[in-house]
Amino acid sequence: MIFRTKDLINISKGKKAIQSSIHSQWSCLNDAERALDDSADYLNHAFHTSEEENPWWMIDLEEEELIDIIKIVNIKDMKFRHRAKKLCILVSLDNKNWTIIPQNMINWDSEMLECIVILSNKVKARYIKLFLNEKNFFHLSQVSVYRRKVLGYIVCGKPDGFGIRLCAMIIGKYLADKLNFGFLFIWPNLLDIPLLNENRGLQETADGKQYISCSMDSSENIFDSVFLENFMCAPEDTGVSYGYKICQAKTIEELKYGPWEKDWGWYSTSELPYLWNTDISKEECLKETRKIYLDIKFSEKYSTIQKDVELAVGSIKFVAIHLRGGDMIYSDLKYHPSRFIFGRHFPYEIAIEIINIELDKGNNVIIFGQDPDSDEQLANYFYEKSNKKGLFVKTISSFIYKNYSDTERAFFDINFMSYANIIFTSSESTFSRTANLISGKDILKSYFDIFSDEECYDIISKNIEILNLDKRQKAMSCYRLYHFGRILNKDIRNLCHWMKLAIQYDEDNYAWKIYLLVLLLEKKEYNKVEKLTKDILKNNKDVVISGMKYRGSRYFKNEIDFMIKHSSGQTPYLSFFLSEYLLNIQNFEESEKFLTYALEKLPGKLIFG
């Protein structure tokens, strides 16, 4: 049951009730209405009928009401609880015409003690009749009927990382207050991205490279116990959701009156409300979200971190660079760059350009990122220039003097970032978006808003050799040049250059080989297509196919479709590879077709020969 007792009104209390009969021994004074007293603690039961065909009990609510919940408590003596197995419920507006409640909505708990019937305002009634669909005695301890105090709920059901959950909580509470809805949140202990390999916090790759991945502390460690009691519910009550549907409600009226996503209301989103709802202003929203954040009751430990941030910031004026991307470069997310990279990854080459501009404006710069070594390298590159100007370029680590856990460190970073005059970010970083909500000001600036695609391409290609970054970082920058090049219709030879360079830097990443295969097919360089395909078949066919079909093949859909369309008699090895892929996704007819193509050109030969 999602609705809390504090958000419900017991509309059955003090009302009139009658029953089909009384029992000569077990009925009591005012037998039927005893069931409506939710404060009474009867020894065994509230009312008791005689044994009869279809015994019933009925309440008159005295006026028409939207019914949200009917709570039924069985007889306390376990020997007789089975008598309520064939319980049925009817509702009526006039005591003449009746609507039956479906039996699949009437479910007793495992001990047959309580039955919570959730009607979610789907029916209006004045009369509610409970009866047994058989000949038997009818006896219950309590019946309570509830309607909502609040029209609905906004629920933060995010299964993502810490920053995005906090963002959706702030936005959810803002919308709930605006609509006069209730607010709730869930806090799953596991993250939602299996490609992170269940990483937590500071991680290390097989070759010893350290990077900061997503992390998650328990709700009990983060929030105050009273706050949890008031606002947290169990995931099984609401389910999890990313909250996409609420963004389709373009006005406050649509948000308030629906149609809603759920019977109880909406899941919250991490998308800024003023960007998708025409009735919400940016200034008002940011002003309120700051108040909401300040009203969140954190645990003593996390409240202390907020104070640590205040002391560390002091009177410093600075701009922040949020270099999202470490987890996308060093975890298995890197194998699916088209899905996870473009709007989230912040290239170091772009950061170099922005820092130069900000130093020339007289601004200090603090770097927030997930790749500590690369962040330090970036800060050190500007040491001399910033010193000459009486400024600084530092990493956020320079301001941390305590040993925080992974999530505590994220909390420190996000609070510190909120003090920036500007937060330079990628277009889809919810971590920096949360800092923006905490600040109460519009301080977010995506590098996509500063530079055109052409400028991004030129900047990355100009700055790609300045820092001695990890080869996987270099490979990702090459991919960004490939991706921008695609958008800008750059010469295909340039695109091939960047993909070949990406493979040199990070040969382990099969995504680069898939993109290069498509480029070579476009150029009709079939010998090179065959050579690359043979290499894949020989060395990592199963891994590549597994990656290509991940989540229904949607991350490489365009590339797969292109290969299927343009594979020809001149590419038998590619045909064999596609046959294996299609077999893997159980497209047997197409798989056989491509296998036939391959064997026609390679009769009697070992396919890897």
Distance CA 382, CA 371 (A): 17
Residue 130 has pLDDT above 60, yes or no: yes
Rounded percentage of the chain residues whose pLDDT exceeds 90: 74
pLDDT at 608 over 80: no
Report which of 488, 494, 491, 540 is spatially closest to residue 514, judged by C-alpha positions: 540
What's the pLDDT at 197? 42
Give 50's DSSP letter: P
Q: Please report the pLDDT score of residue 198 as a whole number.
A: 44
DSSP alpha helix (H) spans, 403-491: 406-417, 430-439, 447-450, 453-463, 471-487
The average pLDDT across 297-306 equals 98
> pLDDT at position 190, please?
66
Q: Which pLDDT tens digit goes with each residue over 75-117? A: 999 999 999 999 999 999 999 999 999 999 999 999 999 999 9
Which of 548 and 533 is assigned the larger pLDDT? 533
What pLDDT does residue 266 have? 97
Band the pLDDT of 607: cuts 50, 70, 90. Answer: low
The answer to whether the beta carbons of residues 142 and 35 sit under 8 Å apart is yes
Contact 392, 386 (CB under 8 A): yes
Sheet holding 182-185, edge to edge: 182-185, 153-156, 265-267
- The answer to which of 217-231, 267-281, 322-336, 440-454 has the lowest mean pLDDT is 322-336
- 3-class DSSP assignment, residue 162: helix
Pairing status of strand 319-323 against strand 423-425: parallel
Burial (Cβ within 10 Å: 0-12, 13-18, ≥19) of residue 48: buried
Ramachandran area for residue 80 (φ above 0: left; ψ -120 to 50: alpha; else beta): alpha
pLDDT at 330: 83
Least confident range from 224-238, 257-271, 317-331, 400-414: namely: 317-331
Residue type, 387: N
Query: Quick one: pLDDT at residue 92?
Result: 98
| Res 427: pLDDT | 84
User: Is 196 a residue whose pLDDT tops 50?
Assistant: no
Q: Which CATH superfamily is domain 5-148 in?
A: Galactose-binding domain-like (2.60.120.260)
Q: Is the pLDDT score of 554 beyond 50?
A: yes
Average pLDDT, the chain: 91
| pLDDT bucket at 336, cuts 50 / 70 / 90 | confident
Residue 299, pLDDT > 80, answer yes
At 60 the pLDDT is: 98
**Mean pLDDT value across residues 353-370:** 97
Residues 6+ apart with CB under 8 A from 553: 560, 585
For the segment 386-432, what is each residue's pLDDT rounded down to a tens digit?
999 999 999 999 999 999 998 999 999 999 999 999 999 998 789 99
CA atoms within 13 A on the CB side of 543: 14
Torsion angles phi and psi, residue 170, rounded to 5: -65, -45
- Model pLDDT for residues 143-171, shown as the tens digit of each residue: 999 999 988 999 999 988 899 999 999 99
pLDDT computed for residue 195 by the predictor: 43
Amino acid 27: pLDDT: 86
Output the pTM of the full model: 0.85
